[in-house]
Amino acid sequence: MNLLETDSAALLAAVRRVLIAKGVLTDAEIADRIAKTEQASPALGARMVAKGWLEPDYRALLLEDGTKAAETLGIMIRGAPPLGVLENTPLVHNLVVCTLCSCYPRAVLGYPPFWFKSAAYRARAVRDPRGVLAEWGTLLPDNVRVRVVDSTADYRWMVLPQRPAGTEGWDEAQLAAIVREGDMIGVTVPDGARLREKTLYPER
């Protein structure tokens, strides 16, 4: 541990002691929050997406108030910036980037991947979004508009991707299993064929 990390740890411990001493939080509440933060992962966001695909009322809530939609599933957003959800359609594809640093909806997607924080992604997603998408294998028709949305310290964003064809009759768990982190950032799109192959040919 270097000097900067030591100083940061000492400062964090001091703030924690003050919060507990003033009765703002208890030690148990802080520990619980840390545990929930560590448990956050793309699986939470995937569950929200799958539920949105299946339930029109929940989809409407997702698009109106992402924070409330997350909290109805027991995902704690309190203390974090508001969550907005962007819907991909046949004519609009959303791509999320944080141009200044690495603002990310950690409560529903976990820690940001290394490439999301890279200067190359942050710059190129704005200048050449179709080129970035192509590198991920996401090739969009010319009539689809790519909308780049900046995630900031004041507002976080995630994408509600389009439900892939061929997934009719699937339940929430099956649908959530095909939703990847990249699908909820917008660099990739869900592929129902991946899970169909696994179901039909489990030995692969």
What is the pTM for the complete model shown?
0.80
Using DSSP, state whether 1 is helix, strand or coil: coil
118 included as an active-site residue: no
DSSP letter for 190, please: -
Buried residues in 34-72 as b, exposed as e (16+ CB within 10 A): eeeeeebebebbbbbbbbbbeeeebbebbeebbbebbee
Between CA 135 and CA 163 the distance in angstroms is 22
- From the list 41, 101, 118, 151, the catalytic residue is 101
- Element spanning 19, H or E: helix 3-21
Those residues with Cβ within 8 angstroms of residue 117's Cβ, 6 or more apart along the chain or in another chain:
101, 102
List the catalytic residue out of 8, 41, 98, 118: 98
Q: Which domains does the chain show, CATH number per domain? A: 3-37 (no CATH), 41-200 (3.90.330.10)
Catalytic residue among 41, 102, 118, 151: 102
Task: Give percent above pLDDT 90 in the chain.
Answer: 69
Confidence of residue 201 (pLDDT cuts 50, 70, 90): very low
Joined together, the tokens standing for residue 90 give 């046949």
**How far from 66 is each of 22, 46, 58, 100, CA to CA, in Å?**
32, 13, 10, 23
- Does the active-site annotation cover 41? no
- Whether the predicted pLDDT of 55 surpasses 70: yes
pLDDT in tens, 58-90: 999 999 999 999 999 999 887 789 999 999 999
Report pLDDT for 33.
Answer: 60
The mean per-residue pLDDT over the stretch 124-142 comes to: 96
Is 8 an active-site residue? no
Residue 151 appears among annotated catalytic residues: no
Which residue is catalytic, options 8, 41, 103, 151? Answer: 103
